[in-house]
Homo-oligomer: A and B are copies of this chain.
């Protein structure tokens, strides 16, 4: 589906072209103009049409149709192909949904192909048109910047959400009335690894862009990509430290849970031990010996009851002091 298509000249949107091929020729003739074509989950036919007009490389086009690529930046003879993973964090079930945006940059054009629900690019386009016209002047590479910037920003938001989840987990693990959090910890860790697989392979392309080593990307955009690279590095460092913390919290959870459970078991056993003592005393005075002088005492019964109570109280106090109760 073609979402939007427009020509940009010197940072300003000028028109929605009728014919792709003519528009491209016009853009190329002037030099300060480029075409930005936005597609959303296009059918192979739709993309083929565009690819033929813009002479995109067939392997890149194939990658743009099939989602599930890894993040990458590839240079073809006369164009650049870039894949970035988009992420959507569903907090209610600790689920990270991945989509992706594929970009083609070439002489006078930028094509964005989006898969999945995350990161609608319409907002990105609007923000560029309205607030960042200076950036748009840098040509097609500014589209690459805008898209990467928007996606890495959502990475940053997900980092914040996971940070919050992690804090909740910590509170739950160390709460006095704690439950076994192993499942929640594991699920979060799995999503963090998923996050890692989306973010880490993007580091190398982004560094290349930030260092200005990519032909076809205007030198003037370097500081912008450096900015994105910076954010991405912060994201990756955060993800790495989540990974390590979740490993540690899994150990801490095991310690907490087993401590709690042993506490319970110890307390129950201690009560059983306390009750065993009067039971034994009662057993003794239940014996049928003919000569048991205590049995004939007027106050034998209440005295024995008192004895039982005293022993139980003493045991209780002792166990309390030993930390067994």
Contacts and interface: CB of A to CB of B under 8 A. Distances in A.
A40 interface: no
Contact of A295 (B230, B290, B308): B290
A275 B290 CA distance: 24
Interface in A106-131: none
Name the prevailing secondary structure of the A interface residues. helix
Given A250-B251, A286-B288, A241 B57 contact: no
A227 interface: yes
A290 B280 contact: no
A258 B262 contact: yes
A154 interface: no
A316 to B, nearest CB: 13
A79 to B, nearest CB: 12
Interface residues of A, number: 92
Given A241-B197, A255-B257, A275 B277 contact: yes
A161 interface: no
B286 A291 contact: no
Contacts of A70: 230, 233-234, 237
13 contacts: A70-B237, A182-B259, A185-B252, A197-B237, A197-B238, A248-B250, A253-B255, A257-B259, A283-B286, A284-B305, A284-B308, A286-B286, A291-B297
Given A74-B226, A287-B295, 13 more contacts: A182-B255, A186-B252, A246-B248, A254-B255, A258-B258, A262-B262, A264-B323, A265-B266, A275-B280, A278-B283, A282-B284, A291-B297, A291-B300
